[in-house]
């Protein structure tokens, strides 16, 4: 079928080991034979079969990227960064969307392992993810990096964002504007993203001697619809907050819709904050106050970590933590507190 190293060897009148040597620049080869071999390689349009190489070397030059959902802008950006950086190092990336479904994740992981993938990046693992734990227990040497989350009791390389800091900043900003009652619109209950953010919010609120009513903390999925639903619930409640802190920009935009649907104006009647700073955050009206993470850098760092452990296994694990940055825009302001909503 396709041309192999044998074809090249025969045509060049040398042994396959010689061809292999010139192809890989390994061992001694006379300039003369090198030229001859390269000539035949060009002539025959020979391309190395990486499968055979992989079987030999036990390196596929492929990494797996496991994310909840590529449709979420944050993961799209991240994936882009990982793919680019991987490519720069000569690695391809196999994409896996789990929807936070552990069974799906398990099946992906075993599939990836069977394919002898060289390493895996887990984005936003949930704190009780059993698959990562199992994988690490079974083979502590296998290159894994956890990005933007950490499974309890599992020691791997990590790239993290101090999300609690971002949430703290946002909350403090709202408090300084004069807000005293808050609504919190989160995603999955056991996503680290939700937990971290809530922590930061609580710290800021406690510092200011204010209280966060438990009923004002709502969980859901990460879609815009969920933001709308949660916000409606908050806005129609007795403990109606003057500010809503959403766990992602998309959720925040869902909150915008809720506010509009019942005639509240942002930020006069209601301040809203997001998280992620997706492209649309500046396009909505008013522009969204949010927090931005160095997503590209996260991806780059994660790839650096896997690739370096793949190429030279190391005895220690490392962790890099990034700080998010608050971006104040038009969706937050001093509360006016003069509105009424029919409950």
Specify the residue, 47 or 207, whose C-beta has the smaller distance to a second copy.
47
Residue 71 in the binding site for DNA (CB under 7 A): no
Residue 25 in the binding site for DNA (CB under 7 A): no
Q: Work out whether the CA dihedral 294, 136, 311, 315 comes out positive or negative.
A: positive
Residue 315 in the binding site for DNA (CB under 7 A): no
Neighbours of 89 (CB within 10 A): 15
SS3 at position 5: helix
- Residue 109's binding partner, choosing from a second copy, DNA, none, with beta-carbon cut-off 5 to 8 A by kind? none
- Residue 93's binding partner, choosing from a second copy, DNA, none, with beta-carbon cut-off 5 to 8 A by kind? a second copy
Specify the residue, 72 or 194, whose C-beta has the smaller distance to a second copy.
72
As a whole number of angstroms, the distance between CA 118 and CA 287 comes to 42
Beta-bridge mates of residue 157: 145
Specify the residue, 234 or 250, whose C-beta has the smaller distance to a second copy.
250
As a whole number of angstroms, the distance between CA 10 and CA 13 comes to 5
Q: Which helix (H) or strand (E) holds 164?
A: helix 163-177
Specify the residue, 201 or 250, whose C-beta has the smaller distance to a second copy.
250
CB-based burial label for 86 (10 Å; 0-12, 13-18, 19+): buried
Window contacting DNA (CB under 7 A); options: 52-60, 65-73, 287-295, 296-304: 52-60
As a whole number of angstroms, the distance between CA 31 and CA 25 comes to 12
As a whole number of angstroms, the distance between CA 96 and CA 21 comes to 37
First to last CA, the chain: 74
Residue 11 in the binding site for DNA (CB under 7 A): no
| Residues near a second copy, by CB under 8 A | 1, 47-52, 54-55, 58, 60-62, 69-71, 73, 76-77, 79-80, 83-84, 87, 92-97, 108, 110-116, 223-224, 250, 253-254, 256-257, 260, 279-280, 283-285
- Residue 32's binding partner, choosing from a second copy, DNA, none, with beta-carbon cut-off 5 to 8 A by kind? DNA
The three-point CA angle 190-161-203 to 5° equals 70
Residue 23 in the binding site for DNA (CB under 7 A): yes
Of the candidate residues 26, 209, 338, 342, the single one contacting DNA (CB under 7 A): 26
Long-range (24+ apart) CB contacts under 8 A made by 262-266 are 262/232, 262/235, 262/236, 262/341, 263/341, 264/235, 264/339, 264/341, 266/330, 266/331
Tell me how far, at minimum, the Cβ of 233 lies from a second copy, in Å: 19
- Residue 112's binding partner, choosing from DNA, a second copy, none, with beta-carbon cut-off 5 to 8 A by kind? a second copy
- Residue 257's binding partner, choosing from a second copy, DNA, none, with beta-carbon cut-off 5 to 8 A by kind? a second copy
Specify the residue, 47 or 279, whose C-beta has the smaller distance to DNA.
47
Binding-site ranges for DNA (CB under 7 A): 1-2, 4-6, 13-18, 20-21, 23-24, 26-30, 32-34, 46, 48-49, 51-53, 55-57
């Amino acid at each position: 079928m396709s041309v192999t190293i044998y074809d090249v060897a025969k045509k060049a009148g040398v042994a396959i080991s010689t061809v292999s040597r010139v192809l890989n620049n390994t061992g001694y080869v006379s300039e003369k034979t090198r030229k001859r071999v390269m000539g035949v390689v060009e002539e025959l349009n020979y391309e190395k079969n990486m499968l055979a190489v992989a079987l030999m070397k036990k390196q596929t030059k492929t990494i797996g990227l496991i994310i909840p959902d590529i449709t979420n802008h944050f993961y799209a950006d991240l994936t882009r960064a990982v793919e680019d950086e991987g490519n720069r190092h000569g690695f391809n990336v196999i994409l896996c969307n789990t929807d936070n479904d552990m069974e799906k994740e398990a099946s992906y992981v075993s599939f990836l392992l069977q394919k002898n993938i060289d390493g895996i990046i887990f984005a936003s693992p949930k704190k009780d993810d059993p698959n990562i734990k199992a994988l690490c227990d079974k083979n502590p040497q296998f290159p894994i990096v956890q990005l933007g989350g950490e499974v309890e009791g599992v020691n791997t390389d990590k790239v993290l964002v101090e999300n609690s800091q971002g949430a703290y900043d946002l909350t403090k900003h709202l408090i300084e504007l004069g807000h005293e009652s808050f609504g919190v619109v989160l995603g999955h209950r056991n996503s680290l993203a939700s937990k971290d953010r809530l922590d930061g919010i609580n710290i800021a609120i406690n510092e200011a001697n204010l209280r966060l009513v438990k009923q004002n903390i709502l969980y859901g999925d990460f879609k815009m619809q969920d933001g709308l639903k949660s916000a409606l619930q908050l806005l129609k409640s007795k403990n109606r907050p003057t500010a809503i802190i959403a766990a992602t920009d998309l959720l925040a935009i869902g909150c915008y819709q809720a506010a509009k649907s019942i005639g509240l104006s942002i930020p006069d009647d209601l301040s809203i904050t997001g998280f992620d700073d997706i492209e649309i955050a500046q396009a909505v009206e008013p522009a969204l106050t949010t927090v931005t993470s160095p997503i590209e850098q996260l991806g780059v760092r994660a790839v650096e970590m896997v690739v370096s452990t793949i190429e030279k296994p190391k005895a220690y694990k490392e962790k890099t933590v990034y700080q998010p940055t608050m971006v104040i825009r038009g969706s937050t302001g001093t509360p006016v507190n003069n509105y009424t909503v029919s409950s």
